Structures are given as C-alpha cells and as structure tokens.
Amino acid sequence: MLTNPLTKNIGAEDVATDLQTYRDSDGYGGWLRALKMSPDELTQLVQKAGLRGRGGAGFNTGLKWSFVPTDRRAHPVRYLVCNADEMEPGTFKDRLLMERDPHLLLEGIAIAAHAIGAATAYIFIRGEYHLATQRLQRAIDEVTESGLIAGETTSLDQPLQIYLHCSSGNYICGEETALLNALEGKRAIPRAKPPYPQVSGLWGRPTVVNNVETLCNLPHLLLHGAEWYRKLGRGEDSGTKLFGASGKVNNPGLWELPMGTPFREVIEHHAGGLRDGLTLRGFLPGGGSTDFLGPQHLDLPMDYDTVRKAGSRLGTGTITVLDEATCPIGLVLNLSRFFARESCGWCTPCRDGLPWVVEILQRLENGEGTTNDIELLREHTARMGPGNTFCALAPGAAEPIQSALKLFEQDFIDHIQGGGCPFH
C-alpha cells in the first residue's frame, strides 16, 4: 500500500512533475472518482477520513466544507481559495509541494471545488515564491489545455477556472479573512467573524479557504478511500504530513511521515540530532506562533489534540530547534519583532502590545531589565491572548513568549541579575 501519497512523485532532482508523468502514476484519478460522487457524499467522505487542516489550525476539512450553504439557487456563485501564503517563521513545507508536484495541488483544488460547487478557484501565493509561481502557472496552463478539469466537469456544469494571485507581501495575508480582503484588492485586514467565509466570504459569496498541503491530501484520499487514509496515521489523527526540522541540527529538512510520529523521531533520527555536540533546550513544534516545548515532550506523538494537551499546538509541523548555545530570549525577541512588524494595526493589544513587548525584551538583552519586566511580559501575553483581538496574530505572538517565561524563566532572571545576555 502507498505510504507517502504527498511526496511519491518528488525525487532527488529539482524539477516539477509534468502532466503526462503525473497522469502516468494515477494522476487525476482521484478527481475522476470524485466526479462520480455528489458534493455531499464527497464532503462526508473527507469528514469521515479525518483530514484536518494542515495550515496550522487542524480543523476537520470535510466539516469546514459542510458549512457552505447547500442551496445552489440561493447561492449560485461560490469560491474555493487555496492559501499558499506560507510565511509562518520556520515553515517551508508548501513550497516543496508547489515547486515539485504542482498537479497534486491542482487535482486537490479541483476535488474541493467540486465538493463545494465552486467554478472558480484562486491560489493565493506569496510574492517571494517565484519558482513555485512559475511552475504552478505552467501546470495550470497544461491542465486547462488538456480539458481534464475544464469540461462539463464541475458540479455546476461550468468549466473550473483556476487563477493564481501573487501576493504583494505581509504575513497577515495568511489569515483567511485578511486573505479574502487582499484578493478583493483591499488592504489585508482581517474581518470580524461571524459571518464565516463559508457563508459570506469573497465578495460576500460562500467561500472555502484551504491550505496547500490540506488540498494535496485529497487526490489519494479519493483514490484509496477513507479507511486507507485513516490507517496511514500512527495515533489519533489520520493521514501523513510533511514534518520538518530547522535550526542547529545535522540534517535540516522535510519528511513525509505518518501523523502521530513522535517529535523525537524527527529531531533525532531524520534531522540527525543536534550538531556540534549541542544539547536540546526546547523547540517550537510548528512555527513561530506555537508554544515552546521542552526535551520532556520529545516522545509526544505529533497529533493535533495531543500537542494541544501538552500546552502547545502542532501548527505547521515544521519544528524549530533551540539549542543550549542559543539565547531563548534573543529568539523570542526575534519572533516578537516579526509579529510587531506584521501586525495590521486593527486591534490595540496587537498594534500597541507587540512594540512594548519588543522594547521590554530588547531591554533584557541590553542588560537594562528589572524584575518587574517579567511580570509586565506576563501581563502583555494575557492581554494579547484569545478573545481580545479579531484574529489570531496576537494570540499566536503571545505563545512563544508565555511558554518561554515558563520553560526558560531562569534565563530571564539571569538576564536581569547578570546585567545582560549571557550568550553574548
């Protein structure tokens, strides 16, 4: 049985799989199977298979689709949007899928579009992903010309159109409602929810926004079935996922592994452990907006709920490794500077709180910190937490800070008592 559906076409050579090669190995077979199903059946299948959103939130994909109104006459126009705005610090997984197997993504898009009755799909891609953009556009041209997805094929009996939108920058575009504003040609500022995009999204139409990797899971799920897909996972969650590791490890990279693989296996086996004899202080499990975990968490299986129960989030599943020779406060400062710069400025805790946090952390690094600063940081993270802002940027920014205060508290104290950064 196939155990690496996401990367089976990706070889050592840096080339994109073309349409012919893709079709020769079952390509677009999942799409042809999806066409024989009604949108409802398709949605139920994906829901039952337990595919969860790979952008970081881990929401059940089929369930997300099911919120789209079923009344076709009342809602004739619907949109599918592929979120390819990969900009979470430490994350580099969607790039690989788009650069190397663009048709896998396009087939996934076609399947999802059929499920929600969309005749138009947009791929919202980072402006900096030049190679991925070029290869995706070539693949879109190939498949459009072939007539495979542009015939009588969608559930609306209209040809499916896939358009690329190259972003003009900003991290906040990855937030799904900010992304929709950007697609509408506005400043990318998140929208108040509800209404959720599934009901009122792009130009007020029912819209589903799915991550690149999520969509890439669909073709083989359709080909091999929900049972097969569930069994791919080693623990609670279904399927495989791209897991990665970066930082001071011997072999930084990306590997397709079953959901539920323990962190230790990625960091010690696949990434080859820490380089130069360094030891592990902690790690961000899935990007800059996830809470730090420590060496005591290495044997946790990488499943969404398990990682959440341990006090963090699986996020994007690309691990950033923190070693003993790197200052945890310096790293948190780096991340906070990023979030402060990327705040859209709508909500006060984010717009005003983040620059304050940067200032406090910089003070600690400069040796000008006081014991009061630790309390101040705690206060800020609480204010930036969930429920106080319209989107998840500030709560995400708070995660590495609040967990660093717990896991590396002694480092904060050392910075204050020692009059500066002991790592310099």
Partner 1 sequence: MTNPTGKVWQRIPARQEGPAPELSTEEIRAIDEERSHYENDAAAGLEALRIVQRARGWISDDSLRAISAYLGIAEAELEGLATYYQLLFRRPPGAEVLQLCRSSSCWILGCEQLQGWLEQELQVRPGETTADGIFTLLENPCLGACDRAPVMLLGEALHTNLTEEKLREVLAEKRRRHADQSAD
Q: By CB under 8 A, name the binding residues for partner 1.
A: 86-92, 94-95, 122, 126-131, 161, 163, 165-171, 182-188, 202-203, 244-248, 252-254, 284, 288, 318, 320-323, 326, 330-331, 334-335, 337-338, 340-342, 354-355, 358-359
Q: Which is nearer to partner 1, 92 or 196 (CB)?
A: 92
Backbone angles phi, psi at 11, to 5 degrees: -105, -165
Q: How far is the CB of 11 from partner 1 (least distance, A)?
A: 17
Q: How far is the CB of 407 from partner 1 (least distance, A)?
A: 16
Q: Which is nearer to partner 1, 109 or 221 (CB)?
A: 109
Q: Which is nearer to partner 1, 125 or 221 (CB)?
A: 125
Q: How far is the CB of 43 from partner 1 (least distance, A)?
A: 25
Tell the residue number behind the tokens 């049972």, with chain if given: 227
Residue 346 CB: number of other CB atoms within 10 A?
Answer: 18
Q: How far is the CB of 44 from partner 1 (least distance, A)?
A: 30
b/e burial code for range 78-110 (CB count within 10 A of at least 16 → b): bbbbbbbbbbbbbbbbbbbbbbbbbbbbbbbbb
Q: Which is nearer to partner 1, 30 or 395 (CB)?
A: 395
Q: How far is the CB of 27 from partner 1 (least distance, A)?
A: 25
CA distance 382 to 379: 5
Token duo for residue 164: 């690329």
CA distance 107 to 125: 17
Report CA torsion sign: 149, 152, 153, 158. Answer: positive
Q: Which is nearer to partner 1, 131 or 413 (CB)?
A: 131
- Tell me how far CA of residue 232 lies from CA of 4, 93, 257, 271, in angstroms: 9, 19, 9, 22
Q: Which is nearer to partner 1, 60 or 381 (CB)?
A: 381
Q: How far is the CB of 401 from partner 1 (least distance, A)?
A: 13
